[in-house]
A and B are shown apart, each in its own frame.
Chain A
Amino acid sequence: MFVVAVGFGVFSLVVSPFLGKMKPNPTKLEPYECGIPTVGTARSQIFVRFYLVALLFLLFDMEIVYIIVWALAMTYKANAAVPGFVLYSMIVMAIYMAILLIGLVYEWKKGALEWN
């Protein structure tokens, strides 16, 4: 099965350039054959601040993902009844938040939040 699947993929890729007829013309060789003609190059410069904002967004986005799951787990009665669980989860989340907080302080002091 596996060999047949891989073999088919490789076979089609290798053989089709040899069997097919190739009549290239400028229109065919354009990156996009349909739609409006391309203008300029795709390698335009983007202001570096956007990357910083994107990074910060990702960071705090991930934080939300973890915190929601954590908060949901705390609401289950079965979980809350386990001795020591609430305290344990609180400590774990406190450590997590402390790590994030230090990250925030760092980027703040380094001027990553300033837009000028």
Chain B
Amino acid sequence: METAAYVPAINLHGILPFISLLAGGMLCLAADAMSGKEGSRRILPVISFVALAAALVSFLLPGYPTGSFLENTFYSDSFSRLGCIVILVSAIATTLMGPRQVIRRNLPSGEYYTLIVFAALGMVLLALANEMLSAFVALEIMSLSLYVLTGIDRRSGKSAEASFKYFILGAFASAFFVFGSGFLFGSTRTTFLADAHNYFATRGGNMPEGAEMWAFIAFGLVFVGLCFKLSLAPFHMWAPDVYEGANTPTTLYIATGSKVAAFAFLIHFAHAFSSWQIFTAPVTFIVGLIAVASMTWGNIAAIVQSNLKRMLAYSSVAQTGYMMIAVMVLVALPSLQAAGNLNATTIANDTTLIYNAISLYLAGYTIISILAFGIAFHIGGEGSMAAYRGLFHRKPFAAVGMAIAMFSLSGLGFLPPTIGFIGKFYLFKEAVRFNMTGIAVIGILTSVIAAFYYLSLIVTMFMKAPDEENGIELAGRREERIAGLGGGDAIVRVMLATATALIFVLGLYPGLFTGLAAKAVTTKPMTTAMVKK
């Protein structure tokens, strides 16, 4: 009855990013404990940057494993690997903004950088996870770090409020996630998504009585949990308050890193169910409904916001809605294939194309967010619109950068093509290619609505006169001057310039990004051979 243990085969390259992030986080903790306040403010950014960069490099190295690794609990394919790259880029951007943020609000630097690195660990684990419990642990590592990062500014009431709301609602969403995992185990007797995929493929037609409904409930609950993390309507209520209350680097991190991670896991999770015949039609409908709700509500609610960070929160609700179009296509793909609607293409090819479209969109969204939130951070003022009135006359570069970010978020900037435009183009193209013209049309119409508030910010920046000498002494400026950072720091400027350049470079050559993973990775659907005996 008792079986002997065995020594698992461990792919060292596969877990190298995890090791470097974990070691980096630990090192941050130890260094913070050993050095004083000033010392840790100097050392910790370096340590966390090195750890994040090491993890990024190990994903970029050509030998990164494809398929299942670490006892089938993780699965790396082109999409999750590109997702990890995007996550780490956003974590690095957050770290680079760290030193100024720490000085501005006199934050505890030890916890700040440590939590950024640990959150990155959770995000990377979640993006690669292929097993429900590992995914849950990863989700919690990520979420708990982000709750604390949101509320790390203890003297700010808004920050505490945001943290509290995020924590309560996030804990609730996590409970949904675990509950759904339980139902998945109840219906398929496994928590491994590859096993679940096989179960649905072989026994999906004649499941035991009640198991079908349990499996639907499992998908529904986990989906709701992930929708919360993705802030999709109608699970987006926390987003505006949290985005506004959190310090701006953390807002960027929540808006990009945690979304990419949850999205990558959602793709893995939906893939496990995709071999189930009766699953496709209702879930395609539900995903489409959520996509439409997020696109319309996000864009309409963004119009009336008077705070830039709140506006970007609603805009990110809408942006995630656009991404859900691709999920909808992915979910519908097997049934389209079964119906013979796909001519002369294989499903693996189509999957890769859709993966590329989503990862390009995610990368574009992240880079544009880095630019938009980075400039909001650079200017200061916690997103209040007064700081942007007539910005062009005070800080022309910042105003032009923000205008570029707004143009490409709206998808309007197509001459020269920005990555925002190209990302949307590919997404809508995939939808139209699979006869989902309706949702693509809704997407384009809501983009037109979105143009209103993106452009009105540009009008505010360029055509309004700046406020008179009541002196926009923006939050944190005084502390920065005292610390000798009066004009802002060079690193953030370089980062913003790089982001601006990437928006145009990737807009012209999107293959540069999708090619990152294409060499080593071919997307294979998970098969029986990969599943543990």
Contact = CB atoms under 8 A, between A and B. Distances in A.
Interface stretch (B28-36, B147-155, B370-378, B413-421): B28-36
Interface string A1-36: 110000000000000000000000000000000000
A109 B34 contact: yes
A2 B30 CA distance: 53
Interface in B1-59: 2-7, 22, 26, 29-30, 32-34
Interface residues of B, number: 15
B7 A88 contact: yes
B213 A82 contact: no
Contacts of A88: 7
Contact of A106 (B2, B6, B29): B29
A103 B32 CA distance: 12
B314 to A, nearest CB: 34
Contact of B213 (A2, A79, A84, A108): A2
Given A102-B29, A105-B30, A105-B33, A85 B5 contact: yes
Interface in A84-112: 84-85, 88, 98-99, 102-103, 105-106, 108-110
A32 B2 CA distance: 51
Given A2-B210, A2-B213, A106 B30 contact: yes
B5 A73 contact: yes
Contacts, number: 42
B2 A78 contact: yes
Contact of A82 (B6, B32, B33): B6
Nearest to B29: A106
B4 A78 contact: yes
A82 B29 contact: no
Given A102-B26, A109-B34, A85 B7 contact: yes
The interface centre, meaning the residue of B4, B5, B7 with most chain A CB atoms within 10 A of its CB, is B5
A106 B32 contact: yes
A110 B29 CA distance: 10
Interface residues of A, number: 21
A42 interface: no
Contact of B5 (A1, A79, A108): A79
A110 B33 contact: yes
B41 to A, nearest CB: 16
A102 B30 contact: yes
B5 A106 contact: no
Contacts of B22: 99
Interface string A70-84: 000100101101111
Contacts of A105: 29-30, 33
A84 to B, nearest CB: 5
B248 to A, nearest CB: 27
A88 to B, nearest CB: 5
Nearest to B26: A102
A83 B7 CA distance: 8
Nearest to B5: A79
Nearest to B10: A88
B183 to A, nearest CB: 12
Contacts of B29: 102-103, 105-106
Contacts of B213: 2
B44 to A, nearest CB: 13
Given A2-B210, A106-B33, A110-B33, A82 B5 contact: yes
A23 to B, nearest CB: 36
A90 B4 CA distance: 17
A76 B2 contact: yes
Contacts of B3: 78
A57 B22 CA distance: 23
Contacts of A83: 7
Contacts of B210: 1-2
A106 B115 CA distance: 14
B4 A81 contact: yes
Interface in B264-288: none
B26 A99 contact: yes
Nearest to B27: A102
A5 B221 CA distance: 19
Interface in B198-218: 210, 213
The interface centre, meaning the residue of A1, A84, A106 with most chain B CB atoms within 10 A of its CB, is A106
B34 to A, nearest CB: 7
B504 to A, nearest CB: 43
Contacts of B4: 76, 78-79, 81-82
A73 to B, nearest CB: 6
A116 B448 CA distance: 61
A91 to B, nearest CB: 10
Contacts of A103: 29
B157 to A, nearest CB: 19
A82 B30 contact: no
Nearest to B213: A2
B37 to A, nearest CB: 12
Contacts of A106: 29-30, 32-33
Given A85-B6, A88-B7, A108-B33, 17 more contacts: A73-B5, A78-B2, A78-B4, A79-B4, A79-B5, A81-B4, A83-B7, A84-B7, A85-B5, A85-B7, A98-B26, A99-B22, A99-B26, A102-B26, A105-B29, A105-B33, A106-B30
Q: 3 closest pairs, A vs B, by CB?
A: A109-B33, A78-B4, A79-B5
